[in-house]
Amino acid sequence: MNNHFTYNKKITLNPNQRIDDTLKIEADSDFIIEKVYALYDGSFKFNIVDTTSNYAWFSDRIRAENWFGTPQYPNELTKPIDTLRNTLLKIDIENLTSDVNKIELAFEGYRIYDTPITIGKTRYFAYVKDLTLQALDMISDNILTNADSDFILQRLIAYKDHDYSLEMKLSASNLGGRRLNNEFCNIDNMFGSVLRPNILKHPLTIDRNSLIQFDVRNLLPAQENAQIVFDGVKVWR
């Protein structure tokens, strides 16, 4: 028997506080996470590690705005996250504000009571990159994909301090360094939001131990902070 269920987690953070917290999956059933959403007073960053398999869901701490939706407009995951019964999820969470931050997280999906599930060779994952550019600056940077698994890129998501502030060119080393766009493109015309992500019609396979390379330039006469997310699945072959 399977049934709809939501795990909720309430966390209160002091100004600029960073802590480790936990969420326990109950012992009577496995749980499949399909949608995530949250309420919060101010922005925060977090990562989640499934301690049963020592598996992190993200390459680095992700901003709340880049992952949690709302109940009306949830983040429907590119691939549901399987969590085994009696699993402890460790949440590394940091308040990005100088005020007390009351947070309520929601992980919605369904419970499996009968035959225990097994974790497959394809799992949800997102590569996360923080960017800080000085006024009118340009930088080159990259993300190195993990050596243990290939990655299928399915969605592009970003958060920035200001709209229409950055331009970017992308390339991937496993494609012979070929660019993914022909010239500098405004990041708002390439990356969507968590509520309206850019869903790739043809998901891109990036081999293990490859570089996702990008050139970024700041169009503003002031510092700009951003975070880009390459959302998809890891594949072990």
Q: Rounded distance, CA 227 to CA 126, Å?
A: 12
Q: What CATH number has the domain bearing residue 95?
A: 2.60.120
Task: For residues 140 and 223, state if they share a domain.
Answer: yes
Look up tokens 């006469």; give the residue.
221
- The structure's pTM equals 0.96
**Residue 196 contacts by C-beta under 8 Å, 6 or more apart in sequence?**
none
Residue where one domain finishes, among candidates 82, 97, 118: 118
Residue where one domain finishes, among candidates 53, 84, 118: 118
User: Domains in the chain: how many in total?
Assistant: 2
Residue where one domain finishes, among candidates 118, 145, 173: 118
Query: How many C-beta atoms lie closer than 10 Å to residue 158's C-beta?
Result: 24
Q: How far apart are the first and last CA of the chain?
A: 31
Tens place of pLDDT per residue across the chain (237 aa): 689 999 999 999 999 999 999 999 999 999 999 999 999 999 999 999 999 999 999 999 999 999 999 999 999 999 999 999 999 999 999 999 999 999 999 999 999 998 889 999 999 999 999 999 999 999 999 999 999 999 999 999 999 999 999 999 999 888 776 788 999 999 999 999 999 999 999 999 999 999 999 999 999 999 999 999 999 999 998
Task: For residues 159 and 74, state if they share a domain.
Answer: no
Task: For residues 41 and 141, state if they share a domain.
Answer: no
Which one, of 131, 121, 153, 151, lies nearest residue 231 by Cα? Answer: 153
Please give the residue range of the domain that contains residue 19: 2-118
Would you give the distance in Å from CA 63 to the centre of its chain? 8
Residue 28 in tokens:
């009577």
- Residue 24 bridge partners (DSSP): 88
